[in-house]
Amino acid sequence: MPPPKPPSRVDNIPFPVFGCTWFGVPALPPKNTGCSVLAYCGGGGSAKTGVNNKINLAVTVTAPPPASDGEPGGGEVGSSITTKYNVNIGTKEQVCVGVHLFDGGQALGGGVYLLAAVGDEVRLYTVPLQAPPEPTLSPEDETKILKQKDDTDKPPPGLEYLLGSIHVGDKYGSNAVSFNPVDSTVVVGCENGHVVLFQMEKNVRWCNLSPNCRHGRAC
Protein backbone atom coordinates (compact mmCIF):
# COMPACT_ATOMS: atom_id res chain seq x y z
CA MET A 1 0.00 0.00 0.00
CA PRO A 2 1.48 3.39 -0.97
CA PRO A 3 1.96 5.93 1.83
CA PRO A 4 -0.90 8.41 2.31
CA LYS A 5 -0.62 11.70 0.47
CA PRO A 6 -1.61 15.12 1.81
CA PRO A 7 -4.19 16.00 3.00
CA SER A 8 -4.44 12.37 4.21
CA ARG A 9 -3.14 11.68 7.70
CA VAL A 10 -2.73 8.89 10.25
CA ASP A 11 -3.80 9.45 13.86
CA ASN A 12 -2.77 7.22 16.75
CA ILE A 13 -5.75 6.46 19.01
CA PRO A 14 -5.03 5.12 22.55
CA PHE A 15 -7.69 2.37 22.31
CA PRO A 16 -9.03 -0.17 19.76
CA VAL A 17 -11.57 1.49 17.42
CA PHE A 18 -14.65 -0.60 16.52
CA GLY A 19 -16.78 1.95 14.68
CA CYS A 20 -16.60 5.39 13.11
CA THR A 21 -18.88 7.84 11.31
CA TRP A 22 -18.46 11.29 9.78
CA PHE A 23 -21.02 14.07 9.30
CA GLY A 24 -20.45 17.42 7.67
CA VAL A 25 -22.17 20.53 6.36
CA PRO A 26 -19.99 22.84 4.21
CA ALA A 27 -19.76 26.51 5.19
CA LEU A 28 -21.10 28.17 2.04
CA PRO A 29 -22.09 31.80 1.42
CA PRO A 30 -24.09 33.74 2.31
CA LYS A 31 -24.41 32.20 5.80
CA ASN A 32 -20.84 30.82 5.98
CA THR A 33 -22.00 28.42 8.69
CA GLY A 34 -21.05 24.74 8.70
CA CYS A 35 -19.71 21.88 10.78
CA SER A 36 -17.72 18.67 10.57
CA VAL A 37 -18.13 15.94 13.18
CA LEU A 38 -16.01 12.77 13.27
CA ALA A 39 -17.12 10.16 15.82
CA TYR A 40 -15.33 6.93 16.69
CA CYS A 41 -15.91 4.40 19.44
CA GLY A 42 -14.15 1.51 21.14
CA GLY A 43 -12.15 0.63 24.21
CA GLY A 44 -10.84 -2.31 26.17
CA GLY A 45 -14.18 -4.07 26.67
CA SER A 46 -13.68 -5.02 30.31
CA ALA A 47 -12.56 -2.58 32.99
CA LYS A 48 -9.80 -5.07 33.88
CA THR A 49 -7.90 -4.10 30.71
CA GLY A 50 -7.23 -0.62 32.09
CA VAL A 51 -8.58 0.98 28.89
CA ASN A 52 -11.93 2.71 29.34
CA ASN A 53 -14.76 2.32 26.85
CA LYS A 54 -15.66 5.57 25.15
CA ILE A 55 -16.99 7.51 22.20
CA ASN A 56 -14.91 10.42 20.95
CA LEU A 57 -16.26 13.34 18.91
CA ALA A 58 -13.87 15.55 16.96
CA VAL A 59 -15.94 18.65 16.17
CA THR A 60 -15.14 21.53 13.82
CA VAL A 61 -17.61 24.43 13.64
CA THR A 62 -17.38 27.32 11.18
CA ALA A 63 -19.51 30.42 11.75
CA PRO A 64 -19.42 34.19 11.16
CA PRO A 65 -17.58 36.12 13.89
CA PRO A 66 -19.79 37.53 16.66
CA ALA A 67 -20.87 41.15 16.59
CA SER A 68 -20.27 43.54 19.46
CA ASP A 69 -23.50 42.36 21.12
CA GLY A 70 -22.30 38.73 21.10
CA GLU A 71 -24.64 37.59 18.36
CA PRO A 72 -23.26 36.02 15.12
CA GLY A 73 -22.91 38.27 12.13
CA GLY A 74 -20.08 40.62 13.02
CA GLY A 75 -16.86 41.21 11.13
CA GLU A 76 -16.35 41.60 7.41
CA VAL A 77 -18.87 40.27 4.92
CA GLY A 78 -18.00 36.66 4.06
CA SER A 79 -15.63 36.24 7.00
CA SER A 80 -15.85 33.27 9.35
CA ILE A 81 -14.24 31.73 12.43
CA THR A 82 -13.40 28.03 12.76
CA THR A 83 -13.42 26.35 16.18
CA LYS A 84 -12.14 22.82 16.85
CA TYR A 85 -12.69 20.76 20.01
CA ASN A 86 -13.09 17.19 21.25
CA VAL A 87 -15.96 15.70 23.25
CA ASN A 88 -15.48 12.45 25.20
CA ILE A 89 -18.46 10.25 26.07
CA GLY A 90 -17.85 7.33 28.41
CA THR A 91 -19.81 4.07 28.15
CA LYS A 92 -18.55 2.54 31.41
CA GLU A 93 -18.20 -1.26 31.42
CA GLN A 94 -19.93 -1.74 28.04
CA VAL A 95 -18.04 -1.08 24.82
CA CYS A 96 -19.68 0.82 21.96
CA VAL A 97 -19.19 -1.02 18.66
CA GLY A 98 -21.26 1.07 16.23
CA VAL A 99 -21.98 4.78 15.78
CA HIS A 100 -23.99 6.85 13.31
CA LEU A 101 -24.22 10.66 13.00
CA PHE A 102 -27.24 12.33 11.42
CA ASP A 103 -29.08 15.63 10.97
CA GLY A 104 -32.09 15.82 13.29
CA GLY A 105 -34.17 17.65 10.65
CA GLN A 106 -37.90 17.16 11.08
CA ALA A 107 -37.42 14.10 13.28
CA LEU A 108 -35.84 15.97 16.20
CA GLY A 109 -36.19 19.62 15.22
CA GLY A 110 -32.73 20.18 13.76
CA GLY A 111 -29.26 19.78 15.22
CA VAL A 112 -26.73 16.95 14.89
CA TYR A 113 -27.26 13.68 16.77
CA LEU A 114 -25.38 10.47 17.41
CA LEU A 115 -26.75 6.92 17.60
CA ALA A 116 -24.55 4.45 19.49
CA ALA A 117 -24.80 0.65 19.65
CA VAL A 118 -23.87 -0.30 23.22
CA GLY A 119 -24.58 -3.77 24.58
CA ASP A 120 -28.26 -4.56 24.04
CA GLU A 121 -29.12 -0.86 23.67
CA VAL A 122 -29.11 1.93 21.13
CA ARG A 123 -28.36 5.28 22.75
CA LEU A 124 -29.18 8.71 21.36
CA TYR A 125 -26.83 11.62 22.07
CA THR A 126 -26.95 15.25 21.05
CA VAL A 127 -23.75 16.65 19.52
CA PRO A 128 -22.73 20.01 21.06
CA LEU A 129 -22.04 22.52 18.31
CA GLN A 130 -20.40 24.87 20.79
CA ALA A 131 -17.15 24.13 22.58
CA PRO A 132 -17.65 22.69 26.08
CA PRO A 133 -16.88 25.18 28.89
CA GLU A 134 -14.16 23.00 30.36
CA PRO A 135 -10.74 23.02 28.65
CA THR A 136 -9.84 20.05 26.51
CA LEU A 137 -7.45 17.57 28.12
CA SER A 138 -3.96 17.28 26.74
CA PRO A 139 -3.09 13.96 25.02
CA GLU A 140 -0.86 13.07 27.99
CA ASP A 141 -3.65 13.66 30.55
CA GLU A 142 -6.17 11.76 28.43
CA THR A 143 -3.83 8.76 28.20
CA LYS A 144 -3.42 8.77 32.00
CA ILE A 145 -7.20 8.80 32.50
CA LEU A 146 -7.70 6.00 29.98
CA LYS A 147 -5.25 3.81 31.92
CA GLN A 148 -7.06 4.35 35.21
CA LYS A 149 -9.40 1.67 36.53
CA ASP A 150 -13.06 2.28 35.62
CA ASP A 151 -14.94 3.58 38.69
CA THR A 152 -18.47 2.17 38.43
CA ASP A 153 -19.75 4.63 41.08
CA LYS A 154 -18.67 7.66 39.10
CA PRO A 155 -20.92 8.96 36.28
CA PRO A 156 -19.28 8.66 32.85
CA PRO A 157 -18.13 11.78 31.01
CA GLY A 158 -20.57 13.14 28.44
CA LEU A 159 -23.66 11.92 30.31
CA GLU A 160 -25.24 15.36 29.84
CA TYR A 161 -25.47 14.71 26.08
CA LEU A 162 -27.51 11.51 26.47
CA LEU A 163 -31.12 12.09 25.37
CA GLY A 164 -32.49 8.56 25.65
CA SER A 165 -32.01 4.90 24.79
CA ILE A 166 -33.94 1.85 23.62
CA HIS A 167 -33.47 -1.73 24.77
CA VAL A 168 -33.35 -3.79 21.58
CA GLY A 169 -33.77 -7.18 23.27
CA ASP A 170 -32.16 -9.43 25.85
CA LYS A 171 -28.87 -10.85 24.54
CA TYR A 172 -29.45 -9.29 21.11
CA GLY A 173 -26.09 -7.50 21.03
CA SER A 174 -26.43 -4.24 19.07
CA ASN A 175 -23.63 -4.17 16.50
CA ALA A 176 -24.58 -1.62 13.84
CA VAL A 177 -27.07 1.24 13.68
CA SER A 178 -28.23 3.72 11.04
CA PHE A 179 -30.93 6.37 10.56
CA ASN A 180 -33.32 6.98 7.66
CA PRO A 181 -34.22 10.71 7.54
CA VAL A 182 -37.14 10.12 5.14
CA ASP A 183 -39.40 8.48 7.73
CA SER A 184 -37.32 8.89 10.95
CA THR A 185 -36.57 5.17 11.16
CA VAL A 186 -33.65 3.67 13.07
CA VAL A 187 -32.35 0.26 11.94
CA VAL A 188 -30.27 -1.89 14.27
CA GLY A 189 -28.18 -4.89 13.19
CA CYS A 190 -27.74 -7.35 16.03
CA GLU A 191 -25.24 -10.06 16.90
CA ASN A 192 -27.98 -12.71 17.16
CA GLY A 193 -28.98 -12.26 13.50
CA HIS A 194 -31.89 -9.88 14.07
CA VAL A 195 -32.42 -6.63 12.20
CA VAL A 196 -34.75 -4.42 14.24
CA LEU A 197 -36.43 -1.19 13.11
CA PHE A 198 -37.64 1.61 15.37
CA GLN A 199 -39.61 4.77 14.69
CA MET A 200 -38.23 7.89 16.38
CA GLU A 201 -40.37 10.85 17.38
CA LYS A 202 -39.50 14.36 18.55
CA ASN A 203 -39.94 13.47 22.20
CA VAL A 204 -37.40 10.64 21.72
CA ARG A 205 -40.16 8.05 22.01
CA TRP A 206 -39.34 4.81 20.20
CA CYS A 207 -41.78 2.47 18.49
CA ASN A 208 -40.64 -1.03 17.47
CA LEU A 209 -41.64 -1.61 13.83
CA SER A 210 -40.27 -5.11 13.19
CA PRO A 211 -39.67 -7.15 16.37
CA ASN A 212 -39.61 -10.47 14.46
CA CYS A 213 -37.26 -9.55 11.63
CA ARG A 214 -34.34 -12.02 11.42
CA HIS A 215 -31.34 -12.57 9.22
CA GLY A 216 -32.43 -13.92 5.85
CA ARG A 217 -35.94 -12.46 6.02
CA ALA A 218 -37.14 -9.18 4.52
CA CYS A 219 -38.25 -6.54 7.00
Question: What pTM was estimated for this model as a whole?
Answer: 0.79
Average pLDDT over all residues of the chain: 80
- Give 124-183 pLDDT, tens digit per residue: 999 999 887 665 555 566 556 555 554 555 678 888 999 989 999 999 999 999 999 888
- Strand arrangement, sheet containing 162-167: 96-103, 112-118, 121-126, 162-167
Contact 209, 185 (CB under 8 A): yes
Q: What is the DSSP letter of 167?
A: E
Cis status, amide bond into 4, omega within 30 of 0: no
* Kind and range of the H or E run holding 144: helix 139-147
Angle at 52 between CA 48 and CA 54, to 5 degrees: 150
CA separation for the pair 64, 87 (Å, rounded): 22
